[in-house]
């Protein structure tokens, strides 16, 4: 980190403290409070980390007001249009777009690791049939540390690299098998002659009695969904991965922690919740009723797929996703899909409503993704696993960046204690 060129002054009880200000390559300045507690005996208070940078990073930049998302400097819309998921994985992991040779080598390495240890099939079978695929993924990814001992030593760069490739390569197989298990169909093994997205679609939809013919337009749409979800700076699941990794935990444990966090409906679970909401709304006539509920402070209902902690203008991923939804549904001959019609009208009415405008609430990436995934044949329970599959590269890139940082410290937030002060224990008969 470069030497701070500016300082901020903080005065507490007449005593002034100078706090260094760091200037990023782009984005707002950051006040460095690391020495504040030692010097002034105060903590800062920021539940939800709304104003706190927890690390420095070179991977992803978001300007929420301008609706900008850059991976290693490249805008997401350019990557979604011109690149493809494995190339974006390389970019996130290594910092630059690959040359043709580097890309070929990377794709080869990922392809060579798509199979799971055969014993893992038994591990899947230990779950109940009706388990949510996210529950299965948390368990199976966590269990990878029991199967791949040769890639758990985080101090060895070679092992870190192998763990990264393994996770990116095996996640589609794990997600597809989690799905197959819950519907009672046999596991489909990966095929190395298929690209990443086509292979995943085939592992989900092929059965021994009938092979699945991958439609290149659907495979392209799947790849784009992966690309749009690949990384998103220090969101809740990424921060969870970083916090877990700060203790020196192995990579599989850290990614399992990220998957568990992603599952929540305020985060990755929103795509499932959004489609269920569109289903519940059912017809455009009922939209005003749901908008009224979303605005009612006494009703916990929120418009799922709407709003974002960082984007306060528009979510650039949502634009590409909406276009993809139109293309895919058109291709499948279901352009008049009732959920798409409800979604479009809901978006229109919400954007014209002062409540949503004042609070800067816009459709996010999850608003249209569920419609595409459903049209492809995925049940809602698979939406968040697909998000997890795609986000794995982001988690790994952030994990690698963190553990390569010589300044790495275990994460340990402080608190504003509001509990009892010290008191004496009372024997049970006297309480
Ligand atoms: N519908 C209705 N009102 C909303 C919504 C919504 N979807 N989102 C926020 N608000 C209101 C909220 O009630 C609050 O109002 P007030 O200031 O009067 O109390 C105000 O807007 C600010 O909300 P917040 O919860 O303080 O904002 P946040 O930055 O903490 O939350 C969010 C961001 C994404 C969790 C939230 O907008 C939300 O719950 N959205 C629905 C779930 C969703 O779509 N999540 C996916 C996020 S994108 C993918 C991902 O990151 O995984």
Q: What is the DSSP string of 330-362?
A: HHTT-TT-HHHHHHHHHHHHHHTSHHHHHTT--
CB of residue 363 inside a 6 A radius of ligand 1: no
Give the Å distance between the CA of 387 and the centre of ligand 1: 19
- The alpha carbon of 176 is separated from its chain's Cα centroid by a whole number of angstroms, namely 18
- Our measurement of the distance from residue 352's CA atom to the centroid of its chain's CA atoms, rounded to an integer in Å, reads 29
Cβ of 375 closer than 6 Å to ligand 1, yes or no, is no
CA–CA dist 317, 351 (Å, integer): 17
Residue 317 in contact with ligand 1 by CB distance below 6 A: no
Residue 132, SS3?
Answer: coil
Rounded CA gap, 399 and 387, in Å? 18
Ligand 1: atom nearest CA of 274 is 44
State if residue 235 touches ligand 1 by the CB under 6 angstroms criterion. yes
Alpha helices (runs of H) in 132-215, residue ranges in sequence order: 133-147, 157-183, 196-205
Whether the Cβ atoms of residue 73 and residue 27 lie closer than 8 Å to each other: no
Spot the catalytic one: 308, 315, 424, 427. 308
Q: Which long-range contacts (CB under 8 A, 24 or more apart) does 205-214 make?
A: 205/377
30 strand-pairing partners: 22
Active site residue 405: no
Checking phi first, is residue 429 left (phi over 0); if not, alpha (psi -120 to 50) or beta? Answer: alpha
Ligand 1: does its nearest atom lie under 6 Å from the Cβ of 302? yes
The contacts of residue 247 (CB under 8 Å, 6+ apart) are: 410, 411
Closest residue by CA, ligand 1 atom 37: 307
Instruction: Out of 307, 361, 362, give the residue to mutate to test ligand 1, the one with the largest number of ligand atoms within 8 Å of its CB.
Output: 307
Query: What Cα–Cα distance (Å) separates residue 1 from each residue in 4, 16, 402?
Result: 9, 25, 14
366 is catalytic: yes
The finding on whether 303 has its CB within 6 A of some atom of ligand 1 is yes
Residue nearest to atom 40 of ligand 1 (CA): 307
Quick one: which atom of ligand 1 is closest to the CA of 268? Answer: 52
Q: Quick check: CB of 294 below 6 Å from ligand 1? A: yes
pTM of the predicted model as reported, rounded to 2 decimal places = 0.92
Contact 393, 92 (CB under 8 A): yes
Q: Is the CB of 205 under 6 A from ligand 1?
A: no
**Is the CB of residue 137 less than 8 Å from the CB of residue 190?**
no
Residues 6+ apart with CB under 8 A from 347: 363, 367
**What's the longest Cα–Cα distance across the chain?**
79
CA gap 249, 161 in Å, rounded: 16
Element (DSSP H or E) covering residue 20 = strand 15-22
CA of 174 to the centre of ligand 1 (A): 31
Output the residue whose Cα is nearest ligand 1's atom 51.
267
Contact 189, 117 (CB under 8 A): no
Q: Is 133 in the pocket of ligand 1 (CB under 6 A)?
A: no
HSE toward the beta carbon, residue 379, CA cutoff 13 A: 13
Nearest-angstrom CA–CA distance, 366 and 373: 11
| pLDDT beneath 70, residues of the chain | none
Ligand 1 touching residue 236 (CB < 6 A): no
Of 152, 362, 392, which is closest to residue 262 (Cα–Cα)?
392
DSSP string covering 222-242, please? Answer: HHHHHHHTS--SS-HHHHHHH
- The whole-number pLDDT of residue 335 equals 75
Q: Distance, CA 274 to ligand 1 centroid (Å)? A: 13
Atom 20 in ligand 1: which residue has the minimum CA distance?
Answer: 359
**Residues in a beta bridge with 17:** 10
Q: Which backbone phi and psi does 411 adopt, to 5 degrees?
A: -75, 130
Nearest CA to ligand 1 atom 16: 359
* pLDDT of the residue at 326: 85
Give the C-alpha distances (Å, rounded to integers) separating 20 from 3, 32, 36, 53: 9, 5, 11, 14
Would the CB of 366 count as within 6 Å of ligand 1?
Answer: yes
Q: How many other CB atoms are there within 10 angstroms of residue 275's CB atom?
A: 25
Number of C-beta neighbours around residue 308 at 10 A: 23
User: 313 C-alpha vs ligand 1 centroid, how far in Å?
Assistant: 14
Determine which residue's CA is closest to atom 41 belonging to ligand 1.
304
For residue 311, how many C-alpha atoms fall within 13 Å in the half-sphere facing its CB? 22
**Which residue's CA is the nearest one to ligand 1's atom 11?**
359
**Residues in the chain, how many?**
431
């Amino acid at each position: 980190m470069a030497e701070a060129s500016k300082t901020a002054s903080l005065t507490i009880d007449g005593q002034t403290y100078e706090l260094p200000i760091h200037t990023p390559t782009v984005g707002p300045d950051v006040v460095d409070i690391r020495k504040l507690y030692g010097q002034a005996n105060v903590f800062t208070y920021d539940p939800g980390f709304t104003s706190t940078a927890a690390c420095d990073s070179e991977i992803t930049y978001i300007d929420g007001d301008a609706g900008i998302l850059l991976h290693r400097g490249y805008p997401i819309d350019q990557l979604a249009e011109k690149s493809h998921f494995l190339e974006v994985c390389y970019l996130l992991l290594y910092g630059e777009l690959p040359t043709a040779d580097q890309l070929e080598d990377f794709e080869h390495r990922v392809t060579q690791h798509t199979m799971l240890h055969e014993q893992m099939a038994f591990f899947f079978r230990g779950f109940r049939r009706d388990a949510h695929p996210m529950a299965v993924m948390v368990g199976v990814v966590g269990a990878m540390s029991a199967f791949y001992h040769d890639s758990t030593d985080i101090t060895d760069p070679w092992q870190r690299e192998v763990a990264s490739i393994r996770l990116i390569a095996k996640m589609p197989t794990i997600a597809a098998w989690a799905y197959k298990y819950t519907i009672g169909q046999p596991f489909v093994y990966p095929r190395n002659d298929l690209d990443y997205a086509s292979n995943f679609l085939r592992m989900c939809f092929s059965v021994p009695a009938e092979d699945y013919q991958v439609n290149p337009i659907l495979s392209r749409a799947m790849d784009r969904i992966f690309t749009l979800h690949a990384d998103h700076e220090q969101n809740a699941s990424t921060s969870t991965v970083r916090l877990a990794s700060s203790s020196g935990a192995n990579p599989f444990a850290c990614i399992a922690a990220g998957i568990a966090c992603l599952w929540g409906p305020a985060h990755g679970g929103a795509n499932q919740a959004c489609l269920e909401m569109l289903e519940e709304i059912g017809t455009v006539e009922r939209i005003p009723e749901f908008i009224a509920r979303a605005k009612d402070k006494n009703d916990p209902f929120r418009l799922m797929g709407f709003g974002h902690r960082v984007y306060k203008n528009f979510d650039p991923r949502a634009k590409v996703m909406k276009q993809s939804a139109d293309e895919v549904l058109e291709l499948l001959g279901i352009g008049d899909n009732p959920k798409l019609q409800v979604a479009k009208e809901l978006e229109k009415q919400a954007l014209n409503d002062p409540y949503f405008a004042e609070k800067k609430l816009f459709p996010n990436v999850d608003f249209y993704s569920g419609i595409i995934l459903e049209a492809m044949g995925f049940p809602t329970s698979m939406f968040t696993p697909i998000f997890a599959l795609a986000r794995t590269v982001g988690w790994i890139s952030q994990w690698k960046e963190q553990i390569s940082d010589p300044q790495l410290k275990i994460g340990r937030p402080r608190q504003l204690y509001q509990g009892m002060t010290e008191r004496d224990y009372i024997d049970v008969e006297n309480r």
